[in-house]
């Protein structure tokens, strides 16, 4: 019996240690799980903000601008707007002042005011080129308003990689948003 009395306190000691270890492991699992969920929630918040305030509106305005531009070209029976012929100038001015520049202004404002939401560490050149393109058109439109129609286009051309960048970034963020939402469930 003496051996049994010695063994019981050791078993209680082992049981107490096991309880402490299990409690610590439970706390650690809970802590790490909560931390992972908080990180995922923070990441989802950032992705949502980028989509709602930067890439989403930029994407919609760009798509609308592209559709309008193709529509104008189709009306004129052309595949590109350059050169703008004298008999096309009145319609070009109408589309520039009522459709293209308002959409450009929206995109320019988004880029300037929400630049902190850009995914990359450095400002993509196509965004800077786009803003410069729009600034060039503002000078052209000011001349038109003063009756000077000698210039028909911005002296800074449309950045060819702009639309691809906006679409690629928007789609990547939408995919990340979907992944984060599915992993949270």
Q: 121: helix, coil or strand?
A: coil
Q: How confident is the model at residue 8, as a pLDDT? A: 54
Q: Mention every residue, 6+ apart, whose C-beta is less than 8 A from residue 125.
A: 159
Tokens, residue 42: 């923070």
Q: How confident is the model at residue 82, as a pLDDT? A: 82
Q: Mention every residue, 6+ apart, whose C-beta is less than 8 A from residue 183.
A: 40
C-alpha dist (Å) from residue 8 to 18, 23, 64: 15, 22, 79
Q: Mention every residue, 6+ apart, whose C-beta is less than 8 A from residue 115.
A: 123
Tokens, residue 184: 């949270």
Give the residue from 98, 91, 109 showing the smallest Cα distance to 64.
98
Q: How confident is the model at residue 43, as a pLDDT? A: 92
Instruction: Please count the helices (runs of H) and the strands (runs of E) in the chain.
Output: 6, 0
Q: 82: helix, coil or strand?
A: coil
pLDDT per residue as tens digits for the range 102-140:
999 999 999 999 999 999 999 999 999 999 999 999 999
Q: How confident is the model at residue 185, as a pLDDT? A: 60
3 — pLDDT class (breaks 50, 70, 90): low
What CA–CA distance (Å, rounded) separates 22 from 6?
25
The answer to whether 141 and 105 are in contact (CB under 8 A) is no
Q: Mention every residue, 6+ apart, whose C-beta is less than 8 A from residue 134.
A: 101, 104, 105, 107, 108, 154
pTM of the model: 0.80
20-29, 79-88, 147-156: the lowest-pLDDT one? 20-29
C-alpha dist (Å) from residue 103 to 52, 72, 98, 122: 17, 15, 9, 24
Domain ranges across the chain = 2-184
């Amino acid at each position: 019996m003496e051996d049994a009395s010695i063994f019981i306190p050791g078993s209680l000691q082992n049981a107490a240690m096991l309880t402490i270890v299990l409690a610590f492991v439970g706390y650690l699992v809970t802590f790490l799980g909560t931390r992972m969920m908080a990180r995922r929630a923070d990441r989802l918040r950032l992705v949502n903000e980028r989509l709602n305030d930067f890439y989403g509106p930029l994407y919609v305005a760009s798509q609308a601008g592209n559709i309008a531009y193709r529509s104008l070209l189709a009306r004129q029976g052309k595949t590109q707007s350059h050169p703008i012929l004298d008999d096309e100038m009145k319609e070009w001015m109408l589309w520039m002042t009522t459709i293209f520049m308002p959409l450009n202004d929206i995109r320019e404002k988004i880029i300037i005011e929400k630049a902190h939401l850009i995914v990359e560490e450095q400002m993509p050149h196509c965004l800077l080129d786009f803003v410069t393109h729009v600034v060039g058109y503002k000078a052209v439109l000011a001349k038109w308003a003063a009756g000077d129609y000698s210039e028909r286009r911005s002296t800074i051309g449309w950045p060819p990689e702009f639309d691809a960048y906006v679409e690629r970034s928007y789609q990547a963020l939408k995919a990340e948003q979907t992944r984060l939402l599915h992993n949270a469930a």
